[in-house]
Amino acid sequence: MNLNLGILSDSWDCQAEQIGNSLILHGDCFQWFRTVPENSIHAVVTDPPYGLKEYDIEQIVKRENCNGGVWRIPPTFDGHKRAPLPRFTALTQKERAKCHDFFVEWAQLVLRVMRPGGHLFIASNAFLSQLVFSALVAGGLEFRGELQQVQETSRTFLC
């Protein structure tokens, strides 16, 4: 494969690491995708931020004080203090609309830079997946399938 990764990593100032013919980037994807040439990316693998509410300053303070808010503070387990998890069910209709709009715009940017036949792998969860998938389709991408992780006790299975 003859891939000019320099064009992709030099187009915006972000952390980048090349591994073989792949390029791993850490930065503002909206800004970066706007600078990338059209039809230049074969695949996108991402675990996007879903920080609609849980990363507001007010909620961060509540988490740090173990005072709940949208954060579920799990009990300790075998002496290990587990990290708080956000309660995604706390999203209002307005916050769901904001998430949908975010992913519609994101999908349009991805579609512009994705080569025909390219692939998108995006991490989500059962609560948000229908919202994210519908937004990606509204942004012009096609839904072709999904992998789901099933958590049973401390063992993980893919189905």
Q: Are residues 57 and 46 in the same domain?
A: no
Number of domains in the chain: 2
Q: Are residues 28 and 64 in the same domain?
A: no
pTM of the complete model: 0.71
Per-residue pLDDT of the chain (159 residues; tens, 9 = 90+): 344 555 555 555 678 888 888 878 788 888 889 988 999 999 998 887 766 677 778 888 887 887 777 767 666 777 777 777 766 666 788 888 988 999 999 999 999 999 999 999 998 877 788 899 999 999 999 988 887 777 665 554 554
β 41-46/114-122 pair status: parallel
Q: At what angle do helices 129-138 and 93-113 cross, to 10 degrees?
A: 50
Q: Are residues 24 and 71 in the same domain?
A: no
Two structure tokens written together for 121: 């792998």
* Nearest in space to 109 (alpha carbons), one of 47, 43, 36, 51: 36
Q: Are residues 79 and 137 in the same domain?
A: no
Q: Are residues 142 and 71 in the same domain?
A: no
